[in-house]
Amino acid sequence: MKWIGVIYEGVGDIAVPQLDGRTPLQVARCACAAELAVRGRSGLLGPVKEHAITRAEQLLALAAGVPADRAHAWLRGPVEAAGYEVDLDGVDFVYRGDFVTLDGDKLRSGSVELSREETVLLTDILNRAWVGYDAEAVVAEPGKVMVLLRGGAGSLPEGQAPHLVEGRPVDDSLPSGRGHEKVRGLFLRAREALAQESVNEVRLDLGENPANGIWLWGGGAPVRRQSDTFAGEVGGCVLTQSPLARGVAALCGMDILDMRDLWSLDEGEWPDFRIAGLIEALREKNFLMVFVSSPHPGGRYGTAAEKVRALDKLDQFVLRPLLTIVEAHRPFRLFLTTDRVVSSVTQRAEEGNVPFLLVGEGVDADAAAGWNEMEAGRGAFGRVHPKDLFGLIRE
């Protein structure tokens, strides 16, 4: 038996006025996903815990077979660090750090487009500024670093994503209170040092946003490599363009196939889907997870119309070629889902219906006629807790 999981980041939504009160999934054609819904059974995912919004890192961990009590503790910083193969020996806490643009007391832009050379230079500035803080910044990719803290983690905060803070006073968004002084100190020292850096003066002269701040978020304790997961036992592989999914793969002992970024392609250009690599992987492995991250941080796709176009692109360029390969490797079970609901109106994660479907060996069809929030609500599975979903898949 082959098990295949396909997870799209943030494609769930709530009713959008611009779409006549429908969600993007209801409007998008998604012919391939609709065909799978007709052939299989559907349902809705409940939150990981009451009143909580599912995190991508937790859902990916659950999909790979990490027990729910452990998956709940997985956070973006340490998981991404594993994906970047950062040495965490002796590290107590890991943040993801994004270079940001500060405008007075407000965060103007939560993401700055930097070259790798600029990122390396600014990271060196950070490390000199943080002497005495037991903190080290390690370049992850252009515009992003992993921040490693030693000397005890204490009660350090997780930190919220920078796109959630855009336009707001920084002081209101930084953690405060006992035990949180270290994070505020790192931010203030970085702001002081980066403001004086010549590369930012050049960027201002060119009309580009300066990288005059670093924002720490997704923090958590390092995650141990998992030796008892379903994916590890049956042999697993992850196809993705996401450092988060690469981190989950590394922690669960799964092979990694890099997918070309679907969102950076020119109009009419087809993505390199690694067909030969997938065929070889499915010949040797029994579990394949495909995770496609959104074009903007936080599961965001832009406007509702842009999200509809993205959904059709995912259906055409990811799901359809994948199914062509999977159909040649019967018997199989395939699930299709998203990690959470992200509103096209507020551009934030919201509570809402997260649709999923399961198709393949031993799965009888139900009444769902498409893959969207409304049709999944009619599915035979009803509402399922994420920790129980993957038990259904592996039955």
Task: Name the residue ranges covered by the structural domains of the chain.
Answer: 2-74+224-393, 93-220
Give pLDDT tens digits for 32-49. 999 999 999 999 987 645
- pLDDT of 32 reads 97
Interatomic CA distance for residues 207 and 6, integer angstroms: 40
**Which has the closest alpha carbon to 167: 214, 118, 101, 221?**
101
Which tokens hold the place of 310?
A: 């993205």
* Helix residue ranges, H only, 285-365: 304-314, 320-326
Specify the pLDDT at position 143. 96
- Structure tokens that stand for 356 in this block: 């999923």
Distance CA 351, CA 337 (A): 16
DSSP 3-state assignment of 26?
A: helix
Q: What is the pLDDT along the chain (395 residues), one digit of tens a residue?
A: 999 999 999 999 999 999 999 999 999 999 999 999 999 999 998 764 544 556 899 999 998 989 888 888 899 999 999 999 999 999 999 999 999 999 998 999 999 999 999 999 999 999 999 998 999 999 999 999 999 999 877 778 899 999 999 999 998 888 876 668 889 999 999 999 999 889 998 999 899 999 999 999 999 999 999 888 888 888 999 999 999 999 999 999 999 998 888 888 776 666 666 667 788 888 889 999 999 999 999 999 999 999 999 999 999 989 998 999 998 888 999 999 999 999 999 999 998 889 999 999 999 999 999 999 999 999 999 999 888 877 888 77
Name the CA dihedral angle for 186, 190, 193, 195, rounded to a multiple of 10 degrees.
Answer: -150
Mean pLDDT of the chain: 91
- Domain 2-74+224-393 - what CATH class? alpha beta
| Predicted confidence (pLDDT) per residue in 159-200, tens digit | 999 999 999 999 888 887 666 888 999 999 999 999 988 999
- pLDDT for res 272: 64
The token pair that represents 151 in the structure block = 């000397």
Q: Report whether 232 contacts 252 (CB < 8 A).
A: yes
Please give the C-alpha separations between residue 363 and each of 82, 186, 391, in angstroms, as whole numbers.
35, 53, 14
Proportion of the chain above pLDDT 70, given as a percent: 94
